[in-house]
Amino acid sequence: MTDAPDIPVRVRPEVAALPPYKQGRQAGAEAFKLSSNENPFDPLPGVLERLRAATALNRYPDASATRLRERLAERFGVGVDAVHIGAGSVSILAQLVQATCGPGDELVYAWRSFEAYPWLAVVAGATAVHVPLGGGARHDLDAMAEAITERTRAVIVCSPNNPTGPIVTQAEFDAFVERVPSDVLVILDEAYAEFVTAPDAVNGLREPGGPRRPNVVVLRTFSKAYGLAGLRVGYAVGHPRVLDAARSTAIPLSVTAHAEEAALASLEAEAELLERVREIAGRRDRLAAALRDAGWSIPDAQGNFVWLPSGDETLTFASAFEEAGLIVRPFAGDGIRISVGEEGSVDKVLRIATSVVMDLPEGHPGRRLA
C-alpha cells in the first residue's frame, strides 16, 4: 500500500483491500537469500551463450513460443496444442483461474499453500475456499473433495506443497480425481517436481500422452530446477480445449524470445542441470535430517526448501536468522520456509535453527518429542 493521498478513481473494493504481492526479501551482498525458493546455481555457460546470441530486441517474440511447445510436446508425447507456455507458471495459473472462475464461483485449494492462490481468486472476482492441511502438513484430499460444491469451478493441488514441502502420492491423486466432477478443472501445480525423490509421489507427466482426464492440467516451470526464475517461463500440459481457454485470457506476447531460447537451451543441457538438482535435493535431505537431530519436528521436505513450524515464535526466529545474514520467509503465526541455497548457507542455517528450537515450549508441534 502507498501513503499517497487518496484519489476518486474507483477501484474494485476487493482489489483495493488486497495486500500487494510480497516478494521474498532481497539480500544484501553478505547475506544468503533463502526466501524465494530460487536455484542457487547460475545458468550453465551454454545457456548464457545462447541468450547472448539471441538478439532482435526490436522484434516481438513468437506469440505462442512454438519451438518450445514443439520440444515439450515431443518430450511428453502429446500434441503441440496440449502444451501452453506462460511468463512463469504463475501466469498460467492466473489464466486458468480467469478462464474458469467468475464472480460467485469457487476456487478450492489447500491452505497453507502458495500465496498466489487466494490472490488469484480475488482478482478473478471468485470466492477462495481454503481447505486446511491435514497431518504432516499434507493436503487433506478427502476434505478437499468434500469442499467441492455446485459453485466450484477449479481445484488446485500443489505437490510438493509450497511452503510446507510434502508431496501428494499418485494413488491419493488418482483417487481424488475420481471424486471431482468432470466439469471442474483440477490444476496440478508441480513447480518443484524435479526435486522430488519420494517414489510414490504424483507425477502428472509420468506417462506419455499427458494427463488422462481432460479436466486435469499439469503446471511446471523453468524457474526452480532449471534456474531461470529471472526470465519468467513456465508451461502447462493438458487438454487443448482447456489450454485454449487459458490462451484466450493471456496477455499477448508476454513470453519473451529470450525466455523461450533459454528454456530450449536448458532442455538441451538437461542432464547437467538435473545433476545440480540432485545436488540440491541431497543438500535438502542433509539439512532436514540435521534439523530433526537438533530437535525440530518438520514435515517431509520434497521441494528445494524446508519448513520450520515455529508458530507464534515465527517473527522472532526469522529476525535471528536475518541477523545472521540469512534471509528466510516467515509466515507470521505459522512457520518459516527456508530455501535450500548455497552449500555455505547450510551450516549457518543449522546453527541458528539449533539455537532457537529450545525456545519452543515443551509439547509445541515444532518440537520433536525427546
Contact pick of 35, 98, 100, 221 for ligand PMP (by CB under 6 A): 221
Q: What are the E-state strand segments in the chain?
A: 32-33, 83-86, 106-111, 127-132, 152-158, 185-189, 216-221, 234-237, 305-308, 326-327, 329-331, 335-339
Select 19 or 208, whichever has its Cβ closest to ligand PMP: 19
Torsion angle, alpha carbons of 221, 207, 243, 181, to 10: -110
Task: Please give the grid coordinates belonging to residue 51.
Answer: 541468450
Cα separations (Å) of 343 from 40, 41, 286, 287?
9, 10, 11, 10
Q: How far is the CB of 96 from ligand PMP (least distance, A)?
A: 12
Q: How far is the CB of 3 from ligand PMP (least distance, A)?
A: 28
CB-based contacts of 215: which residues, under 8 Å, 6+ apart?
180, 182, 183, 184, 185, 186, 239, 242
Query: Considering only residues 10-29, where is the footprint of ligand PMP by CB under 6 A?
Result: none
Residue nearest to ligand PMP (CB): 88
Which residue's C-alpha cell is 490472490? 119
Q: How large is the C-alpha radius of gyration of the chain?
A: 21
Q: How far is the CB of 213 from ligand PMP (least distance, A)?
A: 21
Separation between Cα atoms, residue 71 and residue 269, nearest integer Å: 13
Q: How far is the CB of 7 from ligand PMP (least distance, A)?
A: 31
Select 31 or 255, whichever has its Cβ closest to ligand PMP: 255
- The DSSP code sequence of 131-163 is EE--GGG---HHHHHHT--TTEEEEEEESSPTT
- Tell me: does residue 37 bind ligand PMP (CB under 6 A): yes
Cα separations (Å) of 320 from 128, 137, 353?
34, 24, 9
Q: How far is the CB of 36 from ligand PMP (least distance, A)?
A: 7
Select 51 or 229, whichever has its Cβ closest to ligand PMP: 229
Q: How far is the CB of 355 from ligand PMP (least distance, A)?
A: 28
- Tell me: does residue 215 bind ligand PMP (CB under 6 A): no
Q: How far is the CB of 110 from ligand PMP (least distance, A)?
A: 11
- Tell me: does residue 223 bind ligand PMP (CB under 6 A): yes
Query: Considering only residues 234-253, where is the footprint of ligand PMP by CB under 6 A?
Result: 234
Q: How far is the CB of 323 from ligand PMP (least distance, A)?
A: 25
Select 129 or 219, whichever has its Cβ closest to ligand PMP: 219
Instruction: With contacts defined by CB under 6 A, name the span among 38-46, 221-229, 281-289, 328-336 that binds ligand PMP.
Output: 221-229
Q: How far is the CB of 360 from ligand PMP (least distance, A)?
A: 26
Cα separations (Å) of 242 from 7, 103, 186, 191?
40, 19, 11, 19
Query: Considering only residues 54-93, where is the footprint of ligand PMP by CB under 6 A?
Result: 88-90
DSSP 183: T
- Tell me: does residue 188 bind ligand PMP (CB under 6 A): no
Q: For Cα atoms 99, 13, 116, give the angle at the middle one, nearest 5 degrees.
A: 45
- Tell me: does residue 189 bind ligand PMP (CB under 6 A): yes
DSSP 125: T
Contact pick of 162, 266, 310, 339 for ligand PMP (by CB under 6 A): 162
Query: Considering only residues 91-120, where is the footprint of ligand PMP by CB under 6 A?
Result: 114
Select 155 or 352, whichever has its Cβ closest to ligand PMP: 155
Q: How far is the CB of 158 from ligand PMP (least distance, A)?
A: 5
Identify which of 97, 91, 92, 65 has the alpha carbon closest to the alpha carbon of residue 80.
65
Strand 32-33 versus strand 305-308 pairing type: unpaired
Contact pick of 51, 80, 122, 229 for ligand PMP (by CB under 6 A): 229
- Tell me: does residue 191 bind ligand PMP (CB under 6 A): yes
CB-based contacts of 301: which residues, under 8 Å, 6+ apart?
160, 165, 284, 285, 287, 288, 307
Question: Which residues in this chain contact ligand PMP in the complex, by CB under 6 A?
Answer: 37, 88-90, 114, 158, 162, 189, 191, 221, 223, 229, 234
